[in-house]
């Protein structure tokens, strides 16, 4: 393991009296130019981004984009699904809308994966809306329990009178 680390280490010697940022940048750029022809692979060379990225980088990858519109509350569920299925996406806020809405551009490796992810997202979206309608608010429940408790407390109280 140590030999691998030592083999990958790079030594860069700069002879200057005063080291400045521009001198360091120039030395590193010269070193990178000298290593290009020798077949050394750099960390970010040729690696595609995954997950959230810009629309421009999605279009550069050459695959067809699909877009959907989501609101502010659905963003977290959407991000979870994209991570689960390995989908690349870009989010842009729609200007001029009353409520914050977002246009999401999606790119997946396979159309089947994209349709499966979108159907799961739409299913969760419908479930969330259905739950909110059927579920009463916490304040309403609290008021109902207050009324019930107030009724129980008065019936159970006994008054004792002292006799002398």
Q: Give the C-alpha separation, 58 to 62, whole Å.
A: 7
- 91 close to 52: Cβ distance less than 8 angstroms: yes
Of 40-44, 58-62, 100-104, the range with the lowest mean pLDDT is: 40-44
Instruction: Give the bridge partners for 82, in sequence order.
Output: none
pLDDT score recorded for residue 142: 92
pLDDT score recorded for residue 87: 86
Per-residue pLDDT of 97-149, as tens digits, reads: 788 888 888 887 788 888 888 888 888 765 555 555 556 788 989 998 888 88
Read off the pTM. 0.46
Which domains does the chain show, CATH number per domain?
Answer: 2-36 (no CATH), 55-134 (3.30.1370.10)
Per-residue pLDDT of 145-159, as tens digits, reads: 888 888 775 555 566
Angle between helices 75-85 and 111-134 (to 10 degrees): 150
């Amino acid at each position: 393991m140590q030999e691998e680390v030592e083999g990958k280490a790079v030594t860069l010697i700069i002879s200057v009296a005063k080291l400045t940022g521009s001198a360091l940048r120039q030395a590193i750029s010269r070193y990178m130019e000298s290593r290009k022809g020798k077949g050394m692979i750099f960390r970010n060379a040729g690696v595609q981004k995954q997950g959230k990225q810009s629309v421009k980088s999605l279009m550069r990858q050459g695959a067809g984009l699909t877009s959907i519109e989501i609101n502010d509350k659905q963003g977290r569920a959407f991000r979870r699904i994209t991570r689960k299925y390995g989908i690349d996406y870009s989010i842009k806020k729609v200007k001029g809308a009353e409520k914050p809405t977002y246009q999401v551009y999606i790119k997946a490796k396979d159309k089947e994966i994209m349709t499966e992810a979108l159907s799961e997202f739409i299913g969760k979206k419908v479930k969330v809306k259905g739950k909110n309608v059927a579920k009463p608010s916490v304040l309403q429940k609290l008021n109902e329990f207050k009324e019930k408790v107030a009724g129980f407390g008065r019936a159970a109280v006994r008054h004792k009178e002292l006799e002398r």
